[in-house]
Amino acid sequence: MNTLKYQSQAVAKPYFVFAMILFVGQILFGLLMGLQYVVGDIVGGLIPFNVARMVHTNLLIVWLLFGFMGAAYYLVPEEAETELHSPKLAIALFWIFAAAGVATILGYLLVPYATLAHITGNDLWPTMGREFLEQPTITKIGIVVVALGFLYNLGMTILKGRKTAINMVMMTGLIGLAVFFLFAFYNPTNLALDKYFWWFVVHLWVEGVWELIMGAILAFVLIKVTGVDREVIEKWLYVIIAMALISGILGTGHHFYWLMTPAYWQWVGSIFSAIEPLPFFAMVLYAFNMVNRRRREHPNKAATLWALGTSVMAFLGAGVWGFLHTLAPVNYYTHGTQITAAHGHMAFYGAYAMIVMTIMSYAMPKLRGVGEANCNRAQVVEMWGFWLMTVGMVFITLFLTGAGVLQVWLQRLPESGEALSFMATQDKLAIFYWLREIAGVVFLLGLVAYLYSFFVTEKKAA
């Protein structure tokens, strides 16, 4: 039984499957680092902390990109009411991106980073060595090539088809993603300047254009599972993206407080980033509103749960935990502490990991030819996955926040002289790091349940 509206939507499936494989890798390296935090080296120096960190964060970004691409290949043709311009190109780009991704991760793991930089010609065009952007220059060029092919394919599809608000917002977000990535190629030797432009990628992604991608995917899934009129959802979508861009662009200033930038950034950054929680809050209102006003009972309960869950968790992680440390007088004390890590974890999971799982939950039964929804047993297991991962992440965030508050208390607040050193402080936080690791294991169990749900079928009566 094939339940796809357009056959070419099928290209989304390998993207989703590969995203999940990388997700597993990301979590295993997270847990490894969590252990290194409390017991030190446990793998005989084979995988140093800095390498594990790079693998953890790069796998995260790459699996989210695979997820966004899968989402786009699935929803753009359906919205445009036409087949994808070139399914062959989509599959070719999948293999190129997957091969480049695997080669890069193996490069991180198998050779020292400096050697990797040397053999990939970093001297010719230095772009390596910055958090999230550690990829060799040649990999970065590969990413741009894949992105161009991807945008071309989607653009041609939209041009020949129906132009909906969802498709326009999705395309704007994806083009923005590609454009801001270009700052990864600019690597000034002055460290302050380097950091300044680094945030053009990192901040303008997660607090700018990625929000458009999230809003578009959420709108698509909500229309499908609730049957609410497109016009209603589109109005919300416009309000959300306007708020996201108005607050998020100048909100970049919350990273310019301590970079030797002019002092007015402390005002601009504080004021505009304080508005940033609003679009996330609007997404909560909109998701719950639409589900309450639903015109149909969609059999895919799990997809509805993910759609509601991502709005709440994104608001908590980005909105609440972001606001916590965004005002300059607070950030003066919390900058670069475990508070930052707490926020980074919940925001990335709540907004972007969960929105990818939302569209996967909706689309995978159709992509796999199961029908509108998985059987009840599979959905129950999937919801166990949802809750274990989400509760695991809530506790990871709470324990890191505890660690962060104590860190500020011991290391940052006391007058110099009485303040504990960085490492002496870290020793006092061990209990929180142990608890974080336990919460991380709960998260892993949730991920296992989630993946297992793809293999659960209805029990046949004997």
Which does residue 349 bind out of ligand HEM, Fe ion, none, counting CB within 5 to 8 angstroms by kind? ligand HEM
Which does residue 131 bind out of ligand HEM, Fe ion, none, counting CB within 5 to 8 angstroms by kind? ligand HEM
Q: Is 325 in the site for Fe ion (CB under 5 A)?
A: no
- Between 51 and 69, name the residue whose CB sits nearer to ligand HEM: 51
Buried b (16+ CB within 10 A) or exposed e, 218-229: bbbbbbbbbebe
Written as one letter, the residue type at 431 is I
Structure tokens at 407: 């860190």
- Tell the smallest beta-carbon distance from residue 147 to Fe ion (Å): 22
Rounded distance, CA 218 to CA 215, Å? 5
Q: Is 130 in the site for ligand HEM (CB under 6 A)?
A: no
Distances (CA, A) of 430 to 33, 36, 234, 403, 425: 14, 11, 48, 8, 9
Rounded distance, CA 213 to CA 353, Å? 12
Residue given tokens 């659960």 in the structure block: 456
Rounded distance, CA 243 to CA 258, Å? 26
**Own/partner pairs, 126-135, CB within 8 angstroms, 24+ separation:** 126/187, 127/184, 127/185, 127/187, 130/187, 130/194, 130/198, 131/57, 131/198, 131/202, 132/57, 132/58, 132/61, 132/201, 132/202, 133/184, 133/198, 133/201, 134/54, 134/58, 134/108, 135/58, 135/104
- Between 164 and 326, name the residue whose CB sits nearer to Fe ion: 326
Which does residue 336 bind out of Fe ion, ligand HEM, none, counting CB within 5 to 8 angstroms by kind? ligand HEM
- Tell the smallest beta-carbon distance from residue 176 to Fe ion (Å): 15
- Tell the smallest beta-carbon distance from residue 103 to ligand HEM (Å): 22
- Tell the smallest beta-carbon distance from residue 315 to ligand HEM (Å): 9
Q: Is 349 in the site for ligand HEM (CB under 6 A)?
A: yes
- Tell the smallest beta-carbon distance from residue 209 to ligand HEM (Å): 11
**Own/partner pairs, 454-462, CB within 8 angstroms, 24+ separation:** 454/364, 454/368, 454/378, 456/374, 456/375, 456/377, 456/378, 456/381, 457/375, 457/377, 457/378, 458/375, 458/376, 458/377, 459/377
Q: Is 53 in the site for ligand HEM (CB under 6 A)?
A: yes
- Between 204 and 367, name the residue whose CB sits nearer to Fe ion: 204
Site for ligand HEM in 193-212 (CB under 6 A): 206-207
Choice from 27, 51, 62, 146 touching ligand HEM (CB under 6 A): 27
Print the binding letters for residues 440-459 with ligand HEM: x by CB under 6 A, - otherwise.
x--x----------------
Question: Any residues with CB less than 8 A from the CB of 297 and at least 6 apart, and which?
Answer: none
Q: Is 341 in the site for ligand HEM (CB under 6 A)?
A: yes
Distances (CA, A) of 361 to 50, 161, 310, 366: 34, 26, 12, 10
Choice from 254, 270, 311, 404 touching ligand HEM (CB under 6 A): 254
Q: Which residue is nearest to ligand HEM (CB)?
A: 322
Residue 219 in contact with residue 258, Cβ under 8 Å? no
Neighbouring C-beta atoms of residue 75, cutoff 10 Å: 25
- Tell the smallest beta-carbon distance from residue 28 to ligand HEM (Å): 9
Site for Fe ion in 200-229 (CB under 5 A): 203, 207
- Between 271 and 341, name the residue whose CB sits nearer to ligand HEM: 341
Choice from 187, 252, 326, 407 touching ligand HEM (CB under 6 A): 326
Rounded distance, CA 46 to CA 108, Å? 11
Question: Any residues with CB less than 8 A from the CB of 457 and at least 6 apart, and which?
Answer: 375, 377, 378
Q: Is 318 in the site for ligand HEM (CB under 6 A)?
A: yes
Which does residue 351 bind out of Fe ion, ligand HEM, none, counting CB within 5 to 8 angstroms by kind? ligand HEM
Distances (CA, A) of 332 to 239, 326, 352, 411: 32, 10, 28, 13
Q: Is 273 in the site for ligand HEM (CB under 6 A)?
A: yes
Residue 225 in contact with residue 301, Cβ under 8 Å? no
Structure tokens at 459: 């029990």
- Between 298 and 412, name the residue whose CB sits nearer to ligand HEM: 412
Q: Is 348 in the site for ligand HEM (CB under 6 A)?
A: yes
Q: Is 313 in the site for ligand HEM (CB under 6 A)?
A: no
- Between 98 and 316, name the residue whose CB sits nearer to Fe ion: 316
Site for Fe ion in 186-205 (CB under 5 A): 203
Which does residue 57 bind out of ligand HEM, Fe ion, none, counting CB within 5 to 8 angstroms by kind? ligand HEM
Q: Is 335 in the site for ligand HEM (CB under 6 A)?
A: yes
Q: Is 353 in the site for ligand HEM (CB under 6 A)?
A: yes
- Tell the smallest beta-carbon distance from residue 203 to Fe ion (Å): 4
Interacting residues with Fe ion (CB under 5 A): 203, 207
Contacts to ligand HEM by CB under 6 A:
27, 30-31, 33-34, 37, 53, 56-57, 60, 131, 206-207, 254-255, 273, 276-277, 314, 318-319, 322-323, 325-326, 331, 335-336, 340-341, 343-345, 347-349, 351, 353, 437, 440, 443
